[in-house]
């Protein structure tokens, strides 16, 4: 059955996912493309009244006198600039005559099975048996432009993927000053918005607010998706909660400057826009050239926030992440950063590796400080050559010794950066992004390499490749510790400086695309000062991203809740930290740190040779816990049970296998409650007809020695269960594992 149809009589496109429909109408002789409907799946296309075409102010061919009134309220599928639509638009230009107006008139369309890649950009993928695509081509004849809107629907999830291509079919150069990727107009309902805000060490904190009149948006001009804001917007019905109500989610598959905006108009309609931030963007498009805008993922749920979340998770696991590791357990690694910072040598690293190996850890990752003459953060970025004063015998000797201990080896690099105190900068100062005549702004004593230049990209790739080939390196942590300023390139002409931000991101993508193709067995983990570039664009190249530099489990619960709102647990880099925590100074139980890190990739960030023996003794049990539950955590459906961010006392989340045969509930009591009975916890996502063996997990218990109960699924979901957490003290946790007896 086709998921995309065109009703020729009514000139309506209808796109269906398993649970939603999206409808577009070609209206009037001018070929206006109007948005009709996005919501719960419909069985027919008989919804013409949604466009209000027979109500005042009518369509222009029937009432030219009030064309302006039509333009200012019509639900345009791709709203253009300067011709009477005073709401924010998706597309504007600067032509040779100095004019900025644009328009879109329908010309043709095609529907086909499968989906094409996007040139130079990360994009979702699917076979002819997995998805279907609609291309609608329109024209802006006055500017000599062809505009193609792409829509793909996947057969297995409630997601619609949108993108745009602009082609210069005229005879004159034109400047693109705004090319957003998606617009959806909604009619007259009351909505809340959800954005994800934060800063370094507190990324992606959920912020829900009523949507009032005017524009409500988040954006980045930092050259990356950023710690501070996130390329996501949720639009929620007023009554929507975790499990009920209508929810729309929009996520941008891009790692640079963005804008995500909801605008409530004078007529109570709501327009949601998403795409590359137009500030400081100006792209020169010559005759015959094309510009591709990145994808936007649109998700609809009538099962609340949780339904939206699970659709995003399914789409990204099945149709965005490409790494061979996406369906595998990741090696349990220990990173030496918080163990040693810059103060390490071969002997110290081997001592950590020996103890880690004895405890069952599977990989040692060497972090910052192994190259150039780098003993602090003031030098050597760009000089990717081993410091043999620290590492006698070089990388190969160290890696071989670590491999002899039964551990894999990984390495940290920051390929996009350059230190003014480096051989590279002294040889090529023009390779740094900066503005002639201005003293460049430094952050962490470093500048940013100009990845809009092919020779810079080639140099960076050559150094990464040489390092990876020099020894048996099986993991790379790719970091980016500062944001972009002083936007100027010695490699771009004056009229092309407005292309630098986007060309920089394309350079990052080109590097990582080549890296993943040339080293297909490498486990790549992206990072940007923690979680400043945790976005779908990066997930296309790496199956996991470092979630935040704050590893304190109490703070991580809020950060991981916001991250898991969109992204699968398998993508979240999460480690057991040292205590007192290096960011917050808080001390928490070692067991609880493990429970929180289990909701991610799981690893360690501490000096395993120096932590208390009682904590060391728990590591083998935590590793056993990881191997026992990771398949379920990595592949299961995610349910939010309680939010510490909202209640300030406790947190709980659950993963349920797709066949509902097993589930894992994690409960953390952050604050001890005096003279209070235990709260019953109602589970979600189980089969009410099945009987479940409920195991109160004791990671140190012998097989068969844990406490168990047998309860029906309906009782577990509707009546609840006592988690049996010791209330003597803060930060106490519990894992509860359920296995169906009806498998």
On whether the CB atoms of residues 502 and 224 are closer than 8 A, the answer is: no
Average pLDDT, the chain: 94
pLDDT tens per residue across span 83-118? 999 999 999 999 999 999 999 999 999 999 999 999
pLDDT of residue 580: 94
Of residues 27 and 188, more confidence is placed in 27
pLDDT tens per residue across span 515-524? 999 999 999 9
Does residue 677 surpass a pLDDT of 70? no
pLDDT of residue 53: 55
| SS3 label, residue 692 | strand
| SS3 label, residue 368 | coil
Among 141, 82, 153, residue whose Cα is nearest residue 107 = 141
Q: Residue 720 maps to which CATH number? A: 2.60.40.1180
List phi, psi (to 5°) of 615: -75, -40
Average pLDDT over residues 700-707: 89
Average pLDDT over residues 107-135: 97
- The H or E element containing residue 312 is helix 304-319
- The H or E element containing residue 305 is helix 304-319
**Is 677 inside a domain boundary?**
yes
- The H or E element containing residue 304 is helix 304-319
pLDDT of residue 486: 97
**Is 494 inside a domain boundary?**
no
| SS3 label, residue 201 | coil
Q: How confident is the model at residue 445 (pLDDT cuts 50, 70, 90)?
A: very high
Marked catalytic residue, from 85, 89, 549, 637: 549
**Domains: count for the chain:** 2
Active site residue 549: yes
Active site residue 479: yes
Does residue 270 surpass a pLDDT of 90? yes
pLDDT of residue 565: 98
pLDDT of residue 48: 55
Of 275, 301, 319, which marks where a domain is finished?
A: 319
Report how far apart, in Å, the C-alpha atoms of 688 and of each of 305, 654, 660, 711, 713 are: 22, 16, 10, 10, 4
Angle at which helix 590-598 crosses helix 613-635, to 10 degrees, equals: 20
On whether the CB atoms of residues 449 and 464 are closer than 8 A, the answer is: no
pLDDT of residue 666: 97
Average pLDDT over residues 34-39: 94
Q: How confident is the model at residue 702 (pLDDT cuts 50, 70, 90)?
A: confident
Marked catalytic residue, from 479, 535, 552, 637: 479
Average pLDDT over residues 186-190: 85
Of 303, 319, 335, which marks where a domain is finished?
A: 319
pLDDT of residue 238: 95
pLDDT of residue 69: 86
Q: What is the DSSP string of 379-390?
A: S-TT--SB-TTT
pLDDT of residue 59: 65
Quote the percentage of the chain above a pLDDT of 90: 90
DSSP state of 722: -
Buried b (16+ CB within 10 A) or exposed e, 626-635: beebbebbbb
Q: What is the DSSP string of 332-363?
A: -EEESHHHHTT---HHHHHHHHHHHHHHT--E
Bridge-based pairing state of the strands 258-264 and 247-252: unpaired
**Is 478 inside a domain boundary?**
no
**Is 8 inside a domain boundary?**
yes
Quote the percentage of the chain above a pLDDT of 70: 96
**Is 361 inside a domain boundary?**
no
d(CA 320, CA 341): 34
Does residue 68 surpass a pLDDT of 90? no
Cβ burial, residue 160 (10 Å; 0-12/13-18/19+): buried
Q: Residue 49 maps to which CATH number? A: 2.70.98.60
Average pLDDT over residues 65-87: 91
For residue 225, is it left (φ>0), alpha (ψ between -120 and 50) or beta?
alpha
Of 291, 319, 347, which marks where a domain is finished?
A: 319
User: What is the separation, in whole angstroms, between the first and last Cα of the chain?
Assistant: 32
pLDDT tens per residue across span 572-586? 999 999 999 999 999
d(CA 137, CA 553): 50
Q: How confident is the model at residue 79 (pLDDT cuts 50, 70, 90)?
A: very high
**Domain of 107?**
4-319
**Is 648 inside a domain boundary?**
yes
Query: Residue 64 half-sphere exposure, CB side, CA atoms within 13 Å?
Result: 3
**Is 387 inside a domain boundary?**
no
- The H or E element containing residue 376 is none
**Is 260 inside a domain boundary?**
yes
pLDDT tens per residue across span 528-580? 999 999 999 999 999 999 999 999 999 999 999 999 999 999 999 999 999 99
Cβ burial, residue 348 (10 Å; 0-12/13-18/19+): middle
pLDDT of residue 309: 98
pLDDT of residue 743: 54
């Amino acid at each position: 059955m086709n998921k995309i149809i065109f009703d020729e009589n009514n000139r309506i496109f209808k796109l269906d996912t398993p649970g939603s429909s999206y409808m577009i109408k070609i209206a009037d002789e001018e070929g206006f493309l109007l948005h009709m409907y996005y919501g719960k799946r419909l069985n027919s296309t008989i919804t013409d009244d949604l466009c209000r075409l027979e109500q005042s102010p009518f369509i222009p061919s029937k009432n030219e006198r009030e064309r302006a009134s039509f333009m200012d309220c019509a639900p345009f599928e791709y709203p253009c600039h300067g011709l009477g639509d005073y709401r924010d638009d998706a597309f504007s230009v600067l032509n040779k005559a100095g004019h900025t107006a644009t328009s879109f008139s329908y010309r043709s369309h095609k529907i086909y099975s499968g989906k094409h890649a996007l040139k130079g950009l990360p994009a979702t993928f699917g076979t002819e048996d997995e998805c279907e695509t609609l291309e609608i081509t329109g024209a802006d004849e006055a500017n000599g432009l062809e505009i193609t809107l792409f829509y793909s629907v996947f057969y297995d999830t409630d997601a619609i993927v949108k993108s745009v291509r602009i082609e210069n079919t005229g005879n004159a150069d034109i400047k693109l000053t705004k090319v957003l990727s998606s617009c959806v107009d909604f009619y007259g309902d009351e909505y809340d918005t959800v954005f994800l805000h934060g800063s370094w060490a507190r990324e992606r904190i959920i912020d829900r607010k009523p949507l009032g009149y005017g524009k409500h948006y988040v954006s980045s001009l930092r050259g990356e998706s950023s710690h501070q804001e996130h390329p996501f917007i949720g639009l929620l019905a007023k009554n929507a909660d975790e499990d009920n109500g209508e929810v729309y989610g929009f996520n941008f598959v891009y790692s640079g400057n963005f804008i995500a905006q909801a605008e409530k108009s004078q007529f109570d309609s709501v327009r949601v826009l998403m795409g590359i931030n137009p500030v400081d963007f100006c792209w020169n498009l010559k005759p015959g050239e094309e510009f591709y805008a990145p994808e936007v993922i649109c998700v609809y749920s009538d099962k609340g926030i949780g339904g939206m979340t699970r659709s995003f998770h399914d789409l990204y696991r099945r149709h965005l992440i490409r790494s061979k590791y996406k369906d595998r357990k990741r090696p349990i690694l220990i990173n030496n950063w918080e163990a040693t910072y810059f103060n390490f040598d071969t002997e110290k690293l081997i001592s950590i590796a020996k103890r880690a190996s004895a405890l069952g850890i599977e990989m040692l990752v060497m972090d910052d400080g192994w190259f150039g003459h780098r003993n602090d953060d003031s030098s050597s970025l760009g000089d990717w050559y081993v410091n043999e004063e620290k590492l006698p015998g070089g990388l190969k000797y160290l890696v071989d010794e670590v491999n002899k201990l039964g551990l894999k080896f990984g390495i940290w690099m920051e390929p996009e950066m350059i230190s003014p105190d480096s051989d590279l900068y002294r040889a090529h100062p023009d390779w740094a992004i900066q503005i002639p005549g201005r003293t460049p702004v430094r952050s962490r004593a470093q500048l940013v390499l100009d990845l809009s230049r092919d020779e810079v990209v080639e140099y960076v790739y050559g150094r990464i490749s040489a390092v990876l080939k020099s020894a048996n390196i099986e993991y790379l942590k790719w970091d980016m510790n500062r944001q972009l300023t002083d936007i100027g390139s010695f490699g771009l002409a004056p009229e092309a400086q407005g292309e630098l931000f986007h060309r920089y991101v394309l350079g990052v993508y080109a590097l990582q695309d080549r890296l993943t193709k040339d080293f297909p067995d490498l486990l790549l983990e992206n990072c940007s000062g923690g979680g400043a570039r945790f976005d779908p664009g990066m997930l296309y190249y790496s199956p996991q991203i470092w979630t935040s530099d704050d590893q304190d489990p109490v703070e991580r619960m809020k950060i991981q809740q916001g991250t898991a709102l969109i992204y699968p647990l398998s993508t979240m880099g999460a480690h057991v930290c040292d205590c007192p925590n290096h960011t917050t100074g808080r001390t928490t139980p070692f067991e609880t740190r493990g429970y929180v890190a289990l909701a991610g990739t799981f690893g360690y960030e501490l000096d395993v040779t120096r932590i208390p023996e009682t904590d060391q003794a728990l590591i083998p049990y935590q590793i056993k816990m990881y191997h026992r539950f990771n398949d379920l955590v990595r592949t299961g459906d995610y349910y939010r049970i309680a939010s510490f961010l909202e209640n300030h006392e406790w947190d709980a989340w659950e993963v349920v296998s797709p066949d509902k045969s097993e589930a894992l509930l994690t409960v953390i009591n952050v604050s001890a409650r005096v003279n209070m009975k235990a709260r019953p916890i109602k589970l979600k996502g189980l089969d009410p007809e099945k009987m479940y063996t409920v195991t109160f997990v004791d990671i140190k218990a012998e097989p068969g020695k844990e406490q168990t109960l047998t309860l029906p699924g309906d009782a577990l979901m509707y009546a609840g269960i006592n988690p049996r957490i010791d209330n003597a003290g803060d930060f106490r946790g519990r894992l509860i594992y359920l296995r169906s007896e009806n498998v």
